[in-house]
Amino acid sequence: MRRAEFDRRLRHELHRARPPRASDAERRAWHVVRAAHAARVPAREAHRARRFALAAAAAALALGALVLTPAGAKVGDWIGDVVDPPDTTSVSLGPLPAKGRLLVVADSGLWIVQDDGARRRLGRFRDATWSPGGLFVAAARGRELVALEPDGDERWARPAPGRVSVPRWSPDGYRIAYRSGHDLWIVTGDNDARWRLARGVRATPPAWKPVPEPERQVVAFAAGDRVRIVEADAPGRPLGVTPPGPPPREIWWTEGGRRLVTVASRGVRVHDSRGRLLRTIALPRGRVAKGSAMAPGGRRLAIIARRPAGRSSELLVIRLDRRASPRDLLSMPGSFEGLTWSIDGRLLVLGLPDSGQWLFVRPRRSGGLESVERVRRRFAGGVEPRTGAFPRPAGWCYAQPANRTASGQPPCSSGSAP
Domain positions in the chain: 1-21+46-84, 101-414
Report the SS3 class of residue 348. strand
pLDDT at residue 388, rounded to an integer: 74
Average pLDDT over residues 324-346: 91
pLDDT at residue 303, rounded to an integer: 97
pLDDT at residue 376, rounded to an integer: 87
Pairing verdict, β 238-241 and 226-231 = antiparallel
Closest CA to 372 of 151, 113, 125: 113
pLDDT at residue 15, rounded to an integer: 47
- Model confidence at 68: pLDDT above 50: no
Residue type, 299: R
pLDDT at residue 385, rounded to an integer: 64
Superfamily (CATH) of domain 101-414: YVTN repeat-like/Quinoprotein amine dehydrogenase (2.130.10.10)
Chain-centre distance of CA 282, in angstroms?
A: 28
pLDDT at residue 35, rounded to an integer: 44
pLDDT at residue 391, rounded to an integer: 93
> Cα(133)–Cα(170) distance, rounded to whole angstroms?
11
Average pLDDT over residues 230-253: 94
**Tens-place pLDDT, residues 79-101:** 333 333 333 233 457 889 999 99
**Tens-place pLDDT, residues 115-157:** 899 999 999 999 999 998 899 999 999 999 999 999 999 999 9
> Who has greater pLDDT, 366 or 161?
161
pTM: 0.76
